[in-house]
Amino acid sequence: MESKGYAAISGNAKLEPYTFERRDLGAHDVALDIAYGGICHSDIHQVREEWGSSLFPMVPGHEIVGRVTSIGSSVSKFAIGDLIGIGVFIDSCRECENCLAGKQQYCLGGMTGTYNTYERNTKKIAFGGYANNFVIDEGYAVHVPENLALEGVAPLMCAGITLYSPLRHWKAGPGKKVAIMGLGGLGHMGVKFAAALGAHVTVLSHSPSKRADALDMGAHEFLVMDSEEMFKEHKRSFDLILNTVSADMPVEKYLGLVKVDGTLVMIGLPSAPLAISAGALIGSRRSLSGSMIGGIPELQEMLDFCGKHNIVSDVEVIDPSYINQAYDRTVASDVKYRFVIDASKF
């Protein structure tokens, strides 16, 4: 199947129009016309090789929503015309304990990413969602509720699940004080989910101009942590801090804001290692943890939750020709709050 999209031809290159072939429809595959594709900061990290060397040509994009246009002979989960979502992985080993438990993102054989890797079955380069169509095994896609504003759905497939999963795992809800570090694509979904789950929500941001938006999204407090006094004033305040910041941060200082038995979860993925003293954990029996996206069952649970609570991402819809500017604006924390590509324009 011919596909029209945008690709980076080599590391750090500008993205440009790119035509390529998707694999033929297998018995368990569905094909879809993409409606919208989100731009995640992880796309930028990988195009710019900030996580080590990447695979090129790269069609990034792992926040995908569209409608099914054809189905393989053995497909039972989807029908032609269904609204369907695809996230950060398109396959996994299917037999390890984590795959069997529906936590495919932690597959012991390694999940197969949506791009920047080879497809498990064809061994060809996997091309992502900055394109007009897609082919995927039905087991790795999910149903999207029809009542949601479609342009705001694509970011749920990465930004959404990446915040929903830790909020559920650490039981965010009434009586819990949750802080979200960084009000970007991921962070703003965290605010919406934590508020919908009934937690008390604080945003820790370096952008004072985002205050009104944060409160509109459901945050109860908005703090700019720009002085030692702020760290003193708010020490031991939060049960759970989710750090979505894409740049290096003084994580040890933020650990001081965590209550006894509370947890700080690393979600943002800058490249430098962390420096943490043992005392920052020991002093309040704190935990420092990490969390990566979510598995297929949890993705479906999140989309159903979004359908019920009418939760979508706040987006700026762009034409493909704007992708390179969108990258620069995302890195400058200047997006409200996710760029989404109109795939009808490829």
Report the residue number, 224 or 292, with the smaller CB distance to Zn ion.
292
Report the residue number, 133 or 205, with the smaller CB distance to ligand NAP.
205
Angstrom distance (rounded) from CA 278 to CA 309:
41
Which partner in ligand NAP, Zn ion, none is near 90 (CB below 5 to 8 A by kind)? none
Which partner in ligand NAP, Zn ion, none is near 96 (CB below 5 to 8 A by kind)? Zn ion
> DSSP string spanning 102-153?
T-GGG-TT--EESSSSB-TTT-SBP--SSBSEEEEEGGG-EE--TTS-GGGT
Angstrom distance (rounded) from CA 244 to CA 181:
6
Q: Which residues bind ligand NAP (CB under 6 A)?
A: 40-42, 45, 158-159, 162, 182-187, 205-207, 210, 244-247, 267-269, 291-293, 330, 333, 335
Kindly report the CA angle at 211 between 206 and 217, in degrees rounded to 5?
115
- Pairing, β 83-86 against β 64-71: antiparallel
Report the residue number, 3 or 243, with the smaller CB distance to ligand NAP.
243
Distance, CA of 157 to chain centre: 6
Which partner in Zn ion, ligand NAP, none is near 99 (CB below 5 to 8 A by kind)? Zn ion
Q: Which residues bind Zn ion (CB under 5 A)?
A: 40, 42, 92-93, 96, 99, 107, 109, 158
Distance, CA of 29 to chain centre: 24
Best CA proximity match to 244, nearest among 293, 199, 312: 293
Question: CB 93 → Zn ion: shortest distance, Å?
Answer: 3
Angstrom distance (rounded) from CA 159 to CA 292:
10
Question: CB 65 → Zn ion: shortest distance, Å?
Answer: 14
Which partner in Zn ion, ligand NAP, none is near 165 (CB below 5 to 8 A by kind)? none
Question: CB 99 → Zn ion: shortest distance, Å?
Answer: 3
Angstrom distance (rounded) from CA 43 to CA 231:
32
Report the residue number, 71 or 204, with the smaller CB distance to ligand NAP.
204
Question: CB 62 → ligand NAP: shortest distance, Å?
Answer: 9
Phi first, then psi, for residue 241 (nearest 5°) are -120, 125
Instruction: Tell me the three state secondary structure of residue 34.
Output: strand
Residues contacting 138, CB < 8 A, separation 6+: 28, 29, 30, 71, 72, 75, 76, 77, 78
In the chain, beta strands by DSSP E: 2-7, 16-21, 29-38, 64-71, 83-86, 89-91, 112-113, 133-137, 142-143, 177-181, 200-205, 221-224, 238-243, 258-266, 287-290, 315-318, 338-342
Report the residue number, 6 or 222, with the smaller CB distance to Zn ion.
6
Which partner in ligand NAP, Zn ion, none is near 315 (CB below 5 to 8 A by kind)? none
Best CA proximity match to 343, nearest among 143, 126, 133: 133
Report the residue number, 48 or 253, with the smaller CB distance to Zn ion.
48
Which partner in ligand NAP, Zn ion, none is near 93 (CB below 5 to 8 A by kind)? Zn ion
Question: CB 312 → ligand NAP: shortest distance, Å?
Answer: 16
Question: CB 126 → ligand NAP: shortest distance, Å?
Answer: 17
Name the residue whose CB lies closest to ligand NAP. 184
Question: CB 290 → ligand NAP: shortest distance, Å?
Answer: 7
Which partner in ligand NAP, Zn ion, none is near 267 (CB below 5 to 8 A by kind)? ligand NAP
Question: CB 135 → ligand NAP: shortest distance, Å?
Answer: 23
Report the residue number, 26 or 102, with the smaller CB distance to ligand NAP.
102
Report the residue number, 71 or 299, with the smaller CB distance to Zn ion.
299
Which partner in Zn ion, ligand NAP, none is near 41 (CB below 5 to 8 A by kind)? ligand NAP
